[in-house]
Structure formats: structure tokens, C-alpha cells
Amino acid sequence: MNIVIVVGTRPEIIKMAPVIKELERRGIEFTFIHTGQHFDYEMSQIFINELGLPKPDESFILENNDPVSQIGEMMIKLERSLERHKGGKHKIMLIQGDTNTMLAAGLTALKLGIKIGHVEAGLRSFDWRMPEEHNRRMIDHVSHYLFAPTEISKRNLLEEHVWGEIFVTGNTVIDAIDIYFNKIRDVEEKVMQQIRFERYALATFHRAENVDNLHILRDFIRILRKSPIPIVFPIHPRTRKRLQEYGLWNEIEEIKHLQITPPQGYFEFLTLMKNSTVIMTDSGGLQEEATHPKIRKPVLVLRNSTERPEAVIHGFAKVVGVNPVVVLTELEKILSNEIKLPEYSPFGDGKASIRITNITLSRLEE
């Protein structure tokens, strides 16, 4: 068992699912570890079950919440987990993205002499306020195999003179939607019966640099209040907590054309995306998912930067920040004009997991 796959958050589970499925299809054994980075461990377990993934060989619930202690705790627990499985004989660790889990996993692999394959390498926002920007740069510079989703991400890596091998593979998020899109049929009727509006914008807002800032949070509420279209808002636990701490929860509850829902499962969220008119988000992954040919929705990025410029270049997304005047003006433009979006996704053809698996197996043979 030479391959180990590490995940810690729900987006990582979704994006690694196609690689796991491909390894299983070929009968390749691997060790699967879930670090439990997010406190919603049970939700992660539900995701693993929903996506038909194997039960993790190791999973743990973290005791620390602050980033430094959390990374240290993960490294200690990962080392012990790897030692328990096959006596620490792993040769390649596959990790995905830019969370604290991925940084902890990458550093642990490096110190144990395990080669690192970084799925979704080379993304850059050039925004140093984002903890994810620190993480992804450090991970890329210690990785042996860099699976860049696009030519732009490859160029970022070349410009930084990373020493690992770079491969353009596409993004596994497109593979995931290909694999699981039919599951929408099982939940679509139930999900849409609960939505009060025929036509709506889908909004998500959770990034620390946004929701931890009272002024930005107030601007977001102004956008919701003055939106010319009803809004469905699956609320992140962090956002709910901050709204309550800042005494803003009553304000948001009073908005009549706003429907707040709990966090959604993967299939349920794809359903909401598919049936929306426009998406407003500070998420990175949604910018990719919105470009899938079976979703194809315009996105207003509620941030000052994006590490997914491909979505902007191809007309799917526009970076608008959180200034209410700017956001509402751009929202009006989308609603009053017929938006023509490409029929293809700039993030790949749905075969990224096949390419990543091929490269990983070829490097193991060497």
C-alpha cells in the first residue's frame, strides 16, 4: 500500500472523491486518512457515505481550534497514523488544496520522506490577507508532483521556480460533478419544494477576511436587503456565529426576500446551483462548479481577488468585492441582460482524476 490520501474538510472530500474512485476502479490499494479539521466531523462522515467512498482507515477529531495548535496536533496524529498502517512504508501522499490540513499533511510527509502529490497546485490570489494563500504556496514548494488544473496555474508555478514536476491535469471538481450529477434527481424535488422563490440568487459568504470584519458584514447585509432578486442563503456556521456576536442576526432575519437555510449536502447544493439565476459567493470552489456545462451560471465573486482567474477570463465570474453599490450594479446588469456563457468549462474535461492516477502510478513504478 504505497499511496496515502489525506482529507480534512468537505471540499477536499469532494475533490479527492474522483481520484479515490479511479484508484478503486483499478484495484489499487491506498490508505485513506481524514483529519477532522472542521468541527462538523459528522457532516464530513455523511459526505464520505453519500459519495460512496470507503470508510477512512484513520480519522480523528481535533482538540485545538487555533491554527498553530491545530497544525501541530494534526502533524503528530498523522505521523502516528502513518506508522500504524503498513509500518510507514508509504511512498506517495496525495493531498488537495490549501487548508491547514493540507499544510500539516505536506510537512508531515516531507519529514517522513514520503513524496507529495499536490492536487490543485498553482492557484494564486496574490492576496496575502488570505491564510489559504500562505498554505498553498508552502505546499507547492515542498511537493514532488504538482497537478496544476490549468495552464495559468502551471505558469504561476513556473514563475515561482518550484522544484517539483508540473502536470496540467484539469480540476477534479469537474470530474466530481460528472460522476455525481445524476444524484441530483434523487433530491431535486424535495429541495426545490422547500425554496419559496421561483427565481433566486444563490449566496454563500463565509471567508474569515469577510465575516470576521464587522464593516464588511454590514455591507453584505445591505446587499441582501437591497437585492433586486430574492436570495437563498445556505448559512455557514461561522457566518451565523459572527452575525449573532455582532448583534446583526435580527437585521438579517427581517429581510422578507431572503431565505436562510442550514448548510446543504453536496447533491442538495448542486441542485440549488442548477436552479439558480445567479450566484454570489466568496467561495473558491463555487467559481469552478458554476462553469460545469450542466450548471453554467454567472458568478459575482464577493472578494477583492480570486485564485480562479479562468472563470473571469471565460466570462463566468466577475470579482466585485463587497461594496453594495458595485455589487448591486453588477447584479442588475446580469438580471437585465441575456448572459451568454461558454458551453465548456475552463477547468477541464472531467478526466483530471484519470491523469492524476496515471502519473502517480507511473512515478511509483520508477
Active site residues: 206
Which has the closest alpha carbon to 58: 37, 39, 77, 38? 77
Spatial contact of 97 and 12, defined as CB atoms under 8 Å apart: yes
The set of cell numbers assigned to 91 is 511512498
Which has the closest alpha carbon to 271: 350, 179, 355, 192? 192
Neighbours of 84 (CB within 10 A): 12
Q: 3-class DSSP state for residue 33? A: strand
* Neighbouring-strand partners of residue 117: 94, 145
Which has the closest alpha carbon to 280: 260, 259, 262, 303? 303
Separation between Cα atoms, residue 123 and residue 126, nearest integer Å: 9
Query: Cα(first)–Cα(last) distance of the chain, in Å?
Result: 16
